Amino acid sequence: MKVLVTGAAGFIGSHIAERLLARGDQVVGLDNFAPNYSRARKAANLAEYGDHPKFEFLEADIRDADRMRTLFGHHQFDRVVHLAAMGNVRYSIEHAQEYAAVNIAGTVNLLEAARLTGTRDFIYASTSSVYGNAEVIPFVETAPAVRPLAPYPATKIACELMAHTYHVAFGMKCTGLRFFNVYGPRGRPDMMPFVFTERIAAGQPIRVFAGGRPQRDWTYIDDIAGGVLAAIDASFDYEIINLGRGQPIGLTRFIEIIEQLVGRKAIIEHAPLPPTEPMITYANVDKAARLLNWVVHAALQGRKVAVVASGKAAVGDGAPSSIRNTDQVSVGLAVGLDFTLPSGGVAVGRDGVQRGAGRDSVEGATTALPGDTAEAPAARGVARRGPRAPCAPRCPG
């Protein structure tokens, strides 16, 4: 199978391309090395697999419609995996035009090039941010996604609508994957896990919203990559599917994991929750489990304590210059999360009040880290789908 992967030098794209090559597929990778973070970091991502004999790389911009048509005319792709995009919700607030040009127009350029050359299967990245302050928690794909909180999710909603249009009008097979708070090796340096780790290690303050009550459904890159490959192979006519861990964790607990990883307490500056930020992201993954056999696995079973030790080595004794290996930090966080999540679900409104939490509340859970005796849920090899907590009449995210 020949697959086009856009954003191939980026965080998620590099993992997808590498996995496709490892299983024997032919991959054409596309990236424009956008200056949102260093070219050197993206080049390092690409170097992980760029010399594979079945890989071809093109430095190009998806906003260049003519070049996209030329690319599709030169190759007969069996699948398009479209991961190139402008990310980062907060940055999008004052850069709406750039986000519209890259995310919406760029996606349409690819859809049109695929249509004109007979490429039928189009898998693309969407985001949990499309749910905004959703009234139904956990977020389910059938819920309306019509009130985004920032330009970034607004552009992703537009991409979902355009994909549906091309499916209806031209018979293209389009699958949108709504990623939930992806983290892990090769992650962008502007992502919260790395920013918080670096600042805590350096003794610099971090800004914490809403008293640390916001919750995020952190999902490890290996699990996301497995879901993407399953969607590639499934070749659905048209689907929108959540890919998330299905168990959010409170910001306060997330910070505690980092504190244990770096051996230093965080200096916290409290701030109100911005209107562009939801109180919670929480994936209902029933559809992913049904259609993709989605199961979240432990990050590194059997090596948890050693990995956390390597994570501590990566951040050193608190000197910011010692943070050389963000991959080790990511794995350390993965292990911490694996040991901290309880078995149940929780719903939290924008007012910060937990609803349906009970004794399995994520925010109030008694947690364990490597070295403790608690067994990680993922180590038991079960899907991460806790009981669905009922909402009050209105408990927006």
Q: Indicate the domain borders of the chain.
A: 2-184+219-243, 192-216+248-280+298-380
**Which tens digit of pLDDT belongs to each residue from 80-135?**
999 999 999 999 999 999 999 999 999 999 999 999 999 999 999 999 999 999 99
| Alpha helices by DSSP H, the chain | 11-22, 39-47, 65-74, 89-92, 96-99, 106-116, 151-170, 192-201, 221-234, 251-262, 286-292, 304-315, 326-340
The answer to whether residue 375 scores a pLDDT higher than 90 is no
Which tokens sit at 194? 């790395």
Q: What is the arithmetic mean of pLDDT over 208-216? A: 96
Catalytic residues: 152
The answer to whether residue 36 scores a pLDDT higher than 50 is yes
For residue 159, give the nearest of 86, 216, 266 by alpha carbon.
86
Question: What is the model's pTM?
Answer: 0.82
Superfamily of domain 2-184+219-243: NAD(P)-binding Rossmann-like Domain (3.40.50.720)
**Which tens digit of pLDDT belongs to each residue from 124-160?**
999 999 999 999 999 999 999 999 999 999 999 999 9
Give the pLDDT score at 297. Answer: 72
For residue 78, give the nearest of 124, 41, 25, 33 by alpha carbon.
25
SS3 92: helix
Task: Identify the band that residue 316 occupies on the pLDDT scale cut at 50, 70 and 90.
Answer: very low
